[in-house]
Structure 1
């Protein structure tokens, strides 16, 4: 069988939007040694593809990281298959999505990467096995109530903007690799305090806790299973919820509603809003927050310039898009470069 997708992503997306099969969105990760990531990747692809799994899976010598959706009727078969892949995966925690419409993914991508989360760490003495202590929801709440505890958000700035824990410190950056050294520098004067780190599903804060210990910090925790697991535990155990707003997720949903509070604002008019969208202009694709009124006024675009662009003839749009590489194009980045690129063909 083929070990990759042969159908266009556009067609696959249309299929999943029309398909009413109940699906469950799941995320999981595990740090463990994989001697042959490519062979392991091919094995994973064949098994998961046969079960109708969709989503994004990264495999590296250091482990596996996955955000996927599974046909609900195949959930138990999927668990059995996952747990049998390697002894290190037997019984690992699965984070079940909090706010799920079953349309989170429309294609199965299983890729081999240098690392399962890009961290920028090149120190050969760094040891991922020496990581911080797990904090479940109950422990997290107790630590959060202690004035000697510092809570650090190890997510990107646009994730923090729409939702975060009470009193959490933001490490303002676009990438995790930028955050790690910034977090160490910001916490130098607090080495005697308890540090609790958190992220979406646990993979980033777990590595961050190990990095903080590597840099000489002593009392470091990381939130077990991240925000997703915390919210599920809070609901199951009837605990106080200390997370406010929306949890940003990296799939088609772009967010899980945790509380009714809207703590962010539309990037165009400033009204309360926390809906992330990508600019409708494919030559821009900027990730930004847009309210319903601005979505109508700008037709899903981030600016009047982009709105004008989407009304150009398709061939002219295609010509102007050619050669443009926007990288990680998110709201806080300057659009001056984009304007210059688009202006070259006018």
Structure 2
């Protein structure tokens, strides 16, 4: 039965020491299930990372339940900027080694030593200085559809690759003010700690990431320096921050910033497709996939056997990357 109430998409994270992540996960699952919360949450010894969909009429109860956990009391909740209420459909809470896969093996690395927070107004003010370096700590396909003015791309598909790349890229600028940002703050906060660990001094990160920045800029009447769409890892695949369309359809080159997954389940490539190409290729990434999609389902299933799609996404440098 279709829901008759509105949902609110929310994200939050917290770096904290969780000594028994499995027990914490089980308790949290019971609590959130009772409130009909959907979403994807990762729990680890280093903290929690959550993207969820909360029934609007349960929002206060959800917040109270969250704040009842000592290390989550008063935590910032990033409410989606452009929300159609269709972000998640089930609740999944998983225990992982890290809440952000970073590849860091150095036991002396300490998240307690992180960069300084910048709110929206402070971010705007600091970026007025042409000597300030702005680094986007998101994947290349996120950067492609939207980013801040003058932001540098760290051209990689994974955060673990980006951390050492960012150090190498910025070494000649190590004495400048460096601002790092990401979607909701979790990646750039860890990246700022990694940069300090590597010997940088003047490192900052945008509090609450693009989501919090956009909300505060709108509330406070600040100039919005983010252009385009903010890619999000849920069924929406993006939230509109500005009217600028800075990307192109990967098939015909027309202005477009709509991500979809190839309709051929044996491919499932993440790519940008305009409406005209969606109609021409039946929401597939290529004529080959369009032809496969036209086959009987039994034949498609046979062709899919043994295929390991991994993380498939369009890359300007390589057609497909896993």
Q: Report the TM-score, using the length of structure 2 for normalisation.
A: 0.98
Going from structure 1 to structure 2, the CA distance change for 1:206 and 1:337 (only over 3 Å counts) comes to closer
Task: Return the offset for 1:19.
Answer: 2.5
SS in 1 for 2:278: helix
| 1:197-276 matches, cutoff 5 A | 197-276=180-259
Match of 1:315 among 276, 287, 298: 298
Task: Return the offset for 1:228.
Answer: 0.1
Query: Cα RMSD over matched residues?
Result: 1.2
Stretches of structure 2 that go unaligned for 5 or more consecutive residues are: none
Match of 1:326 among 285, 309, 314: 309
Partner of 1:24: 8
**CA–CA distance in structure 2, aligned partners of residues 240 and 337 of structure 1:** 36
Partner of 1:170: 153
Going from structure 1 to structure 2, the CA distance change for 1:80 and 1:292 (only over 3 Å counts) comes to same
Counterpart check, 1:35 vs 2:19: yes
| 1:83-162 matches, cutoff 5 A | 83-85=67-69, 87-162=70-145
Stretches of structure 1 that go unaligned for 5 or more consecutive residues are: 1-14, 339-346
**Cα displacement string for residues 89-141 of structure 1 (whole angstroms, at most 9, x for unaligned residues):** 00000000000010100010000000000000000000000000000000000
**Cα displacement string for residues 180-225 of structure 1 (whole angstroms, at most 9, x for unaligned residues):** 0000000000011000000000000000000000000000000000
* Deviation >2 Å, runs of 4+: 333-338
**Contact 2:81 2:241 survives alignment (8 Å):** yes
Q: Report the TM-score, using the length of structure 1 for normalisation.
A: 0.91
Partner of 2:57: 73
**CA–CA distance in structure 1, aligned partners of residues 42 and 320 of structure 2:** 33
Counterpart check, 1:64 vs 2:48: yes
Query: How many residue pairs end up in the alignment?
Result: 321
Match of 2:268 among 260, 279, 285: 285
| 1:285-304 matches, cutoff 5 A | 285-304=268-287
Match of 1:193 among 158, 176, 192: 176
**Cα displacement string for residues 230-260 of structure 1 (whole angstroms, at most 9, x for unaligned residues):** 0000011000100000000000000000111
SS in 1 for 2:314: coil
